[in-house]
Structure 1
Amino acid sequence: MHRRGFLAASLATVLASPRALAQMKMDDMSNMPGMDHAGHDMGAMGQGPVALPQNQPLRELPLLANEAAGPGLFKARLTAESATARFAADRDTPILAYNGISPGPLIETQEGDRVEITFSNRIEGEPSTIHWHGMPVPADQDGNPMDPVAAGADRVYAFELPEGSAGSYWYHPHPHGRTAEQVYRGLAGAFLVKAKADPIPAAYGDTTLFLTDLRLAADGSMPENTMTDMMNGRVGDQVLVNGQKNPRLAVAMGTKRRLRLYNATNARFLRLAFVNAAMTVIGSDGGLLEAPVATDEILLSPAERVELVVAFDKPGTAILTTLDYDRGWMGPGRPEDKGLALLTADVSDTQAEPMPPLPERLRPIARFGQPTVSRRLVFTETMAMKPTGMEMGFLINGMAFDMGRVDIVARAGDTELWEIVNQADMDHPFHLHGTQFQLIERERDGKVSKPPYLAWKDTVNVARGETVRLVTRQERPGTRMYHCHILEHEQLGMMGVVDVQA
């Protein structure tokens, strides 16, 4: 039997090990038989997903207030705590929130600023951290699992934003063994670092679209992860934009809008198109590209970001929608993601004021030199019978994550070639802490392809059966993480530690 068939069949009869039980908290195993719902809650009485209000005006994410008196310093507080949200019109949902809201407040700074954020962990009985995803921060400010903030404790994260660091970053928890749950319960937010000299015309605006997904039980609560969630990653029943389902945006014909899209879901792959509007990619995880690139569709794996300029040149409705994408699925009930309307733009027949053209050149991106070090990471999944039952895991180079083990010793300033080989049966988005990298090539079935453009990245999808080669360099010493950004896979072992030495 092919490994995927073996694993899927094994899942149907699994007796979880104590480690898996701790992860899944499946005390009564009530979600296991047949796994027909594939991780989707269908309500206590077998209903479909809880209905959410749609077609409300797109709301902007509220800004985190800067408490500093003068320029060059951003000083604020973020508190992680229990809160209540009303996603459905007639029921409340217990969530986790930053400063009482989810998504968390939008942090907006400028390259060159110093950032000082006091984090208060008020999650009862759980450690947490804040990981500044993709940002060039010192290792001891990165919020990695080895540096937890205990329940009831505070700490200050402080770092400088170097020149050239403008980009679309985000923040989320990274405590060992609790990251997936804290994120799907609501802890995530966008962090924009603005350029001092931005080549994108100000007339295009700058709109953040923070994409999350949500699963609600019939009573409005969030069901805990099932066995299928742990195997495939949690995929919710609803996809939200800035916490709303299919909000609406009113624009005049001829308008160009700058949109920053974030995939902040635990495990959902978003292959996106804009019906009745033209998309141009202008930026990626680590900021602007060298030049704009027209496109018909984009794929955002979990944790990836993209900056677009969208031209609304036709009156009527223009819809940001999902296309089908097969990223590999264990067991029955693969989610149907095709044709979801995420955002609807109402384009009037009134002509907008003439807008300046998008520049042909955006910024230079320096190429890395010849690598002096090569590394190879192989992703696999396993399922084995143990004395306590069947145990599953997601491995890198045959090993599960061990917080006390250093997997890679690197030297600050060395240019390295990393080869990520996916021998597993599903896609895995690879994320490296502490730096950005440049994708060099992909190889699948003996065919090598080059990326369509040069970009700074901190997360890249590695499709099943694919090898991805990238070049990177760590500039700051300290402990860093690398892992699959399907958060349930990270928790089940697909993570490693790199010790960057001076």
Structure 2
Amino acid sequence: MHRRGFLAAGLATVLVSRRAAAQMKMDNMPGMGGHAGHDMGAAPQGAAALPEGEALPEGEALRELRLLANEANTPGLLKAKLTAEPAIARYAEGIDTPILGYNGMSPGPLIEATEGDRVEITFANRIPDAASTIHWHGMPVPADQDGNPMDPVAAGSERSYSFDLPEGSAGPYWYHPHPHGKTAEQVYRGLAGVFLVKPKADPIPAEYGDTVLVFTDLRLAADGTMPDSTMVDLMNGRVGDHVLVNGQKNPALTVPFGTRRRFRLYNATNARFLRLSFDGAPMTIIGTDGGLLEAPVAADDILLSPAERLELVVSFDKPGPATLYTLDYDRGWMGAGRPADTGLTLLTVNVSETPAEPVPPLPEKLRSIAQLDSPTVNRRFVFTETMTMGATDMEMGFLINGAAFDMNRVDIVAKAGEIELWEIVNKADMDHPLHVHGTQFQVVERERDGQVSKAPYLAWKDTVNVARGETVRLLLRQERPGPRMYHCHILEHEQLGMMGIVDVQA
């Protein structure tokens, strides 16, 4: 379905598919008011945005994420507890915001482990009246430890997640809930955190530091609450009014000039695409979702779709402010109110006139990546949208190969250890970032308007953006048996049907 079809029908709103949730009437949904053209930059009706003068503070020192305490005294064992629970945050002066947090905070505590470690984490769900899970996004864990929607943890219950981190698994992973029908809300209300698996021997000089930047976005009403999602949110994915870094708006970092700083960037938003650049500071990509590249790659700007991660080394070669800011990116938008995403300053690095101590150069080789062999199975997945209209309401779904997600249906059967070629064809009206559980894959090529382009570098990925009108081809191999999910990581689209199950058999 083409975008002009939606606009011609006057669509600025959309209803959830009956297969995903109960039918909702337009006049009962927040932000509707019986007319089109809801402004995504403002809070829904009945929940006015923060008044002028109550803006979120900027320029505070960048906070480091609090480290999750290891309760074990045994080397090679990480034993800890994570609790999902209601909490209070203060984003604006004097205004309390009810959130959901892990161990009372958002982003959740930073989990650090080393490849080869054993991980045992007890999860307690203290969210009232709602199931949850912890999905270890991108991590090589067994299917029964993956936190997928078929394995919910009921409100008031606990369960233990236990797994081993194999050699070679170092990478910038993260964790978030994955209960079907509730994932989007639990994430935008605060449930997300970083799980950093470090190598036993890191080729990146320790003098570069290791700075984690977690991007989330926030929408606040005048009373400090987070308004419920609107129809426009369901259609496009929820995009907040403020982009936060480690829970702060435009925090500041001070470094001496000549500094080389390692950054790990996480897009933990529901639906926001971040095309980023550092003003006046050269960037070098050193890693992606699944860890380090083989060799560094210089970049003028980068694109992080929802759930993607990148590792950078940034060189601060002259005194003065250097800002991390957003560039324009049109990922497709249905209806009115496309957010103004260009020119947002996310982080300000104040480079002093004091010179840094000399540091070692970035190695020319970071690690070896084995390229996957020729596939024995080819699969094709087509992304589309569907919309039906009644006399008083509308219903919409986001589909893979013409079908909406059904928890009781296995969509494909794969064999553990077998290399597959997946061709992802996006015939929808907006970009869709594909995430595959249980493995990392290699992007081979992209095709758009008859033009084929090879991947610019070999990398391990678990999430890849598929632009509207684009076909992405990737190679993957599932190693661990059991059911795995594949889905769009615009969380509202996943919830409205754009998800499937692959049953990996031994």
For the aligned pair, the TM-score class normalised by the smaller chain equals: over 0.9
Match of residue 43, structure 2, among 29, 41, 47? 41
Structure 2 Cα separation of the partners of residues 394 and 432 of structure 1: 17
Partner in structure 1 of residue 278 of structure 2: 274
Cα distance, 1:191 vs. partner? 0.4
Q: Tell me, which stretches of 5 or more residues in structure 1 are unaligned? A: none
Q: Tell me, which stretches of 5 or more residues in structure 2 are unaligned? A: none
Partner in structure 2 of residue 28 of structure 1: 28
Match of residue 334, structure 2, among 322, 330, 345? 330
Cα distance, 1:405 vs. partner? 0.2
Partner in structure 2 of residue 7 of structure 1: 6
Deviation sequence 1:409-466 (CA, Å, 0-9, x none):
0000000000000000100000000000000000000000011111000000000000
Is 1:132 matched up with 2:131?
A: no
CA contact (8 A) 1:40 1:236 kept: no
User: Are the structure 2 counterparts of residues 240 and 47 from structure 1 closer, same or farther at C-alpha, using a change threshold of 3 Å?
Assistant: closer
Structure 2 Cα separation of the partners of residues 108 and 467 of structure 1: 36
Match of residue 73, structure 1, among 70, 77, 93? 77
Q: How does 1:426-465 map to 2 (within 5 A)?
A: 426-465=430-469
Match of residue 420, structure 1, among 398, 414, 424? 424
Structure 2 Cα separation of the partners of residues 24 and 116 of structure 1: 41
For 2:11, what is the secondary structure of its paired residue? helix
Cα distance, 1:41 vs. partner? 1.1
User: Are the structure 2 counterparts of residues 70 and 480 from structure 1 closer, same or farther at C-alpha, using a change threshold of 3 Å?
Assistant: same
- Residue type at the aligned position of 1:319: T
TM-score (norm 1): 0.97
Structure 1 Cα separation of the partners of residues 41 and 153 of structure 2: 30
For 1:86, what is the secondary structure of its paired residue? strand
Deviation sequence 1:26-51 (CA, Å, 0-9, x none):
77334122233137417845766861
CA contact (8 A) 1:408 1:498 kept: yes
- Residue type at the aligned position of 1:414: E
CA contact (8 A) 2:49 2:220 kept: no
Deviation sequence 1:447-490 (CA, Å, 0-9, x none):
00011111000000000000000000000000000000000000
For 2:388, what is the secondary structure of its paired residue? strand
User: Are the structure 2 counterparts of residues 347 and 266 from structure 1 closer, same or farther at C-alpha, using a change threshold of 3 Å?
Assistant: same
CA contact (8 A) 1:479 1:500 kept: yes
CA contact (8 A) 1:82 1:95 kept: yes
User: Are the structure 2 counterparts of residues 390 and 437 from structure 1 closer, same or farther at C-alpha, using a change threshold of 3 Å?
Assistant: same
Is 1:181 matched up with 2:185?
A: yes
CA contact (8 A) 2:125 2:158 kept: yes
For 2:36, what is the secondary structure of its paired residue? helix
User: Are the structure 2 counterparts of residues 21 and 74 from structure 1 closer, same or farther at C-alpha, using a change threshold of 3 Å?
Assistant: closer
Structure 2 Cα separation of the partners of residues 154 and 264 of structure 1: 24
CA contact (8 A) 2:210 2:263 kept: yes
User: Are the structure 2 counterparts of residues 42 and 179 from structure 1 closer, same or farther at C-alpha, using a change threshold of 3 Å?
Assistant: closer
Structure 1 Cα separation of the partners of residues 383 and 204 of structure 2: 39
- Residue type at the aligned position of 2:373: G
CA contact (8 A) 1:39 1:234 kept: no
- Residue type at the aligned position of 1:296: D
Q: How does 1:143-182 map to 2 (within 5 A)?
A: 143-182=147-186
User: Are the structure 2 counterparts of residues 284 and 367 from structure 1 closer, same or farther at C-alpha, using a change threshold of 3 Å?
Assistant: same
Q: How does 1:48-63 map to 2 (within 5 A)?
A: 51-63=55-67
User: Are the structure 2 counterparts of residues 67 and 384 from structure 1 closer, same or farther at C-alpha, using a change threshold of 3 Å?
Assistant: same
For 1:490, what is the secondary structure of its paired residue? helix
For 2:232, what is the secondary structure of its paired residue? helix
For 2:91, what is the secondary structure of its paired residue? coil
User: Are the structure 2 counterparts of residues 39 and 428 from structure 1 closer, same or farther at C-alpha, using a change threshold of 3 Å?
Assistant: farther
Structure 1 Cα separation of the partners of residues 345 and 474 of structure 2: 33
Partner in structure 2 of residue 311 of structure 1: 315
Cα distance, 1:276 vs. partner? 1.2
CA contact (8 A) 2:13 2:335 kept: no
Structure 1 Cα separation of the partners of residues 243 and 22 of structure 2: 27
Partner in structure 1 of residue 195 of structure 2: 191
Partner in structure 1 of residue 290 of structure 2: 286
Structure 1 Cα separation of the partners of residues 277 and 192 of structure 2: 24
Q: Which moved more, 1:93-102 or 1:35-44?
A: 35-44
CA contact (8 A) 1:124 1:151 kept: yes
Cα distance, 1:90 vs. partner? 1.6
User: Are the structure 2 counterparts of residues 42 and 405 from structure 1 closer, same or farther at C-alpha, using a change threshold of 3 Å?
Assistant: closer
Match of residue 355, structure 1, among 339, 343, 359? 359
CA contact (8 A) 2:263 2:311 kept: yes
CA contact (8 A) 1:39 1:228 kept: no
Cα distance, 1:217 vs. partner? 0.6
User: Are the structure 2 counterparts of residues 13 and 169 from structure 1 closer, same or farther at C-alpha, using a change threshold of 3 Å?
Assistant: closer
Structure 2 Cα separation of the partners of residues 337 and 217 of structure 1: 20
Cα distance, 1:13 vs. partner? 7.3
Structure 1 Cα separation of the partners of residues 223 and 130 of structure 2: 25
Q: Which moved more, 1:474-483 or 1:33-42?
A: 33-42
TM-score (norm 2): 0.96
Structure 2 Cα separation of the partners of residues 377 and 306 of structure 1: 26
Is 1:491 matched up with 2:490?
A: no
Structure 1 Cα separation of the partners of residues 395 and 48 of structure 2: 31
Deviation sequence 1:388-420 (CA, Å, 0-9, x none):
732100000000000000000000000000000
Q: Which moved more, 1:5-14 or 1:480-489?
A: 5-14
Aligned residues: 501
Partner in structure 1 of residue 266 of structure 2: 262
CA contact (8 A) 1:444 1:467 kept: yes
- Residue type at the aligned position of 2:272: R
Partner in structure 2 of residue 377 of structure 1: 381
For 1:77, what is the secondary structure of its paired residue? strand
User: Are the structure 2 counterparts of residues 42 and 29 from structure 1 closer, same or farther at C-alpha, using a change threshold of 3 Å?
Assistant: closer
User: Are the structure 2 counterparts of residues 464 and 111 from structure 1 closer, same or farther at C-alpha, using a change threshold of 3 Å?
Assistant: same
Deviation sequence 1:9-38 (CA, Å, 0-9, x none):
353476777667748797733412223313
For 2:186, what is the secondary structure of its paired residue? helix
CA contact (8 A) 2:76 2:118 kept: yes
User: Are the structure 2 counterparts of residues 309 and 438 from structure 1 closer, same or farther at C-alpha, using a change threshold of 3 Å?
Assistant: same
RMSD, matched Cα:
1.8
- Residue type at the aligned position of 1:320: L
For 1:35, what is the secondary structure of its paired residue? coil
CA contact (8 A) 2:48 2:221 kept: no
Partner in structure 1 of residue 368 of structure 2: 364
CA contact (8 A) 2:250 2:346 kept: yes
CA contact (8 A) 1:318 1:344 kept: yes
Partner in structure 1 of residue 415 of structure 2: 411
Structure 1 Cα separation of the partners of residues 257 and 153 of structure 2: 49
CA contact (8 A) 1:24 1:230 kept: no
Structure 2 Cα separation of the partners of residues 23 and 284 of structure 1: 39
Deviation sequence 1:324-371 (CA, Å, 0-9, x none):
000000001110111100000000011110011000000000000110
Structure 2 Cα separation of the partners of residues 256 and 363 of structure 1: 20
